[in-house]
């Protein structure tokens, strides 16, 4: 087991380096030159104090200074990448990259990216965990009941409902919910994280936030109900058709034990990747939901970073996403082992 994890970790590092290198190079294609912009800005400040004929020379000097500061004084992408990682020194001889804890500086928020991402990640994680737990609490029992009572009225009703839900893009669900709960019933605010102009502290602030967060949570839960119900039902039906279930029933086990212990254990196998993926997917945030409700989470942060071309921030978020993606595959594989002993043996 330990060796397997170690092997996977080494592989993860390799893929991580390859992917980030690829992304890093993609960003080099973007037409943005921070050194040039800053040099121009400083030139503007100095304009009157320098003679006209010296301006070009002064600008070149400033440009070089900023290029050296940002580490862009070379066209070699490998060097640029290594500097970003912190494995290759800058002009002044110091390394300042990811390994030194410098993930970059967000020009849009005017703060180090780590400080920007922190609160957003907290918001997203809270709403995501609540959502995920609520979704699982609803869908798994629902899927199991549907599978055991296959083709009953209840099952058919749920099937139709989940088919429609599965086929509806999430943003349409959000629009309907906003129109219904905000515009018609006036139960919840349309967007935002706190009442504008309010200055609550303590419990009042918590309540205010809750009041703003309830509708987004309901929307998120609702939009992911359908697909997980479908998957649970399908894998449960498959599991109930297994020979071992016949054996269990033949042994005279109670139906409850058959369903929740024998069948469910088997049904878990195909569901593992969805469950694990769901929990890791939380962090990347629900871009559409966060956009529509003005929720200050990872999705909104990422969206705005892409819009405003805040490169350091995008790069950092990409690192997080890539890492999470790779880590979740590792966890999924390990969970397969936990759920299905056969997998463990074959390793």
One-letter-per-residue 3-state SS of 98-155: HHHCCCCEECCCCEEHHHHHHHHHHHHHHHHHHHHHHHHHHHHHHHHHHHHCCCCHHH
Q: Does 175 participate in binding other proteins (rule CB under 8 A)?
A: yes
Distance of CA 119 to the CA centre of its chain: 14
Piece of 76-84, 128-136, 166-174, 198-206 that binds other proteins (CB under 8 A): 166-174
> How far apart are CB 328 and other proteins at their closest, in Å?
6
Return the H-helix or E-strand segment holding 112. Answer: strand 111-112
Residues numbered 116 to 135 that lie near other proteins (CB under 8 A) are none
> How far apart are CB 25 and other proteins at their closest, in Å?
11
Reading phi first (left if > 0) and then psi (alpha if -120 to 50, else beta), residue 90 is in beta
Q: For residues 295 and 193, is the Cβ–Cβ distance under 8 A?
A: yes
Residue among 62 and 275 whose Cβ is closer to other proteins: 275
Q: Does 317 participate in binding other proteins (rule CB under 8 A)?
A: yes
Piece of 46-54, 139-147, 173-181, 263-271 that binds other proteins (CB under 8 A): 173-181
Residue among 326 and 339 whose Cβ is closer to other proteins: 326
Q: Does 169 participate in binding other proteins (rule CB under 8 A)?
A: yes
Q: Does 167 participate in binding other proteins (rule CB under 8 A)?
A: yes
**What distance in Å separates the CA atoms of residue 338 and residue 150, rounded to the nearest whole number?**
29
Piece of 202-210, 214-222, 249-257, 302-310 that binds other proteins (CB under 8 A): 302-310
Return the C-alpha torsion angle 74, 80, 86, 91, nearest 10.
10
**What distance in Å separates the CA atoms of residue 336 and residue 97, rounded to the nearest whole number?**
36
Residue among 164 and 338 whose Cβ is closer to other proteins: 164
Q: Which two tokens stand for residue 4?
A: 């397997």
Among 179, 206, 244, 257, binds other proteins (CB under 8 A): 179
- The pattern of x and - marking residues 225 through 264 that bind other proteins according to CB under 8 A reads ----------------x-----------------------
Residues numbered 11 to 40 that lie near other proteins (CB under 8 A) are 11, 15, 19, 23, 26, 29-31
Residue with the two structure tokens 């000097």: 61
Q: Does 49 participate in binding other proteins (rule CB under 8 A)?
A: no
Q: Which two tokens stand for residue 186?
A: 């006036």
Q: For residues 296 and 123, is the Cβ–Cβ distance under 8 A?
A: yes
Q: Does 337 participate in binding other proteins (rule CB under 8 A)?
A: no
Q: For residues 118 and 109, is the Cβ–Cβ distance under 8 A?
A: no
Among 140, 178, 267, 335, binds other proteins (CB under 8 A): 178
Burial class (CB in 10 A: 0-12, 13-18, 19+), 164: exposed
**What distance in Å separates the CA atoms of residue 64 and residue 72, rounded to the nearest whole number?**
9
Give the angle 7-331-242 at the CA atoms, nearest 5°.
110
What's the half-sphere exposure (Cβ side, CA atoms, 13 Å) at 208?
Answer: 14
Q: Does 288 participate in binding other proteins (rule CB under 8 A)?
A: yes
> How far apart are CB 93 and other proteins at their closest, in Å?
33
Residue among 97 and 299 whose Cβ is closer to other proteins: 299
Q: Which two tokens stand for residue 3?
A: 């060796």
The contact set with other proteins (CB under 8 A) reads: 11, 15, 19, 23, 26, 29-31, 163-164, 166-172, 175, 178-179, 182-184, 190-191, 241, 277, 281, 284, 287-288, 291-292, 302-303, 306-307, 309, 314, 317-318, 321-322, 324-326, 328-329
């Amino acid at each position: 087991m330990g060796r397997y994890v170690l092997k996977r970790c080494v592989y993860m590092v390799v893929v991580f380096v390859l992917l980030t290198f690829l992304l890093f190079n993609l960003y080099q294609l973007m037409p943005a030159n921070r050194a040039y912009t800053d040099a121009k800005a400083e030139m503007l400040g100095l304009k009157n104090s320098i003679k006209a004929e010296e301006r070009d020379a002064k600008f070149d000097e400033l440009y070089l200074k900023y290029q050296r500061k940002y580490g862009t004084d070379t066209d070699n992408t490998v060097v640029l990448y290594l500097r970003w990682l912190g494995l290759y020194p800058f002009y002044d001889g110091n390394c300042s990259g990811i390994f030194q804890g410098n993930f970059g500086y967000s020009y849009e928020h005017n703060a180090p990216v780590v400080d920007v991402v922190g609160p957003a990640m907290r918001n997203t994680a809270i709403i995501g965990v609540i959502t995920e737990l609520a979704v699982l609490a609803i869908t798994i029992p629902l899927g199991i009941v549907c599978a055991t009572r296959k083709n009953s009225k209840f099952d058919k009703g749920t099937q139709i409902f989940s088919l429609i839900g599965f086929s509806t893009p999430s943003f349409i669900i959000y629009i309907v919910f906003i129109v219904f709960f905000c515009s018609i019933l006036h139960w919840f605010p349309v967007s935002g994280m706190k009442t504008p102009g309010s200055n609550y502290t303590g419990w009042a602030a918590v309540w205010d936030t809750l009041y703003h967060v309830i509708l987004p949570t309901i929307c998120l839960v609702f939009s992911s109900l359908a697909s997980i119900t479908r998957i649970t039902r399908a894998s449960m039906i498959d599991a109930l058709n297994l020979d071992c279930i016949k054996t269990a029933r033949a042994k005279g086990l109670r139906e409850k034990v058959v369903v929740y212990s024998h069948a469910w254990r088997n049904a878990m196998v195909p569901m593992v990747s969805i469950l694990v993926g769901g929990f890791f997917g939380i962090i990347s945030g629900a871009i559409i939901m966060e956009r529509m409700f003005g929720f200050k989470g990872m999705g909104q942060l990422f969206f705005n970073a892409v819009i405003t071309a805040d490169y350091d921030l995008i790069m950092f978020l990409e690192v997080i996403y890539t890492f999470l993606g790779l880590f979740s595959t590792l966890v999924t594989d390990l969970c397969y082992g936990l759920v299905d002993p056969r997998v463990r043996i074959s390793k």
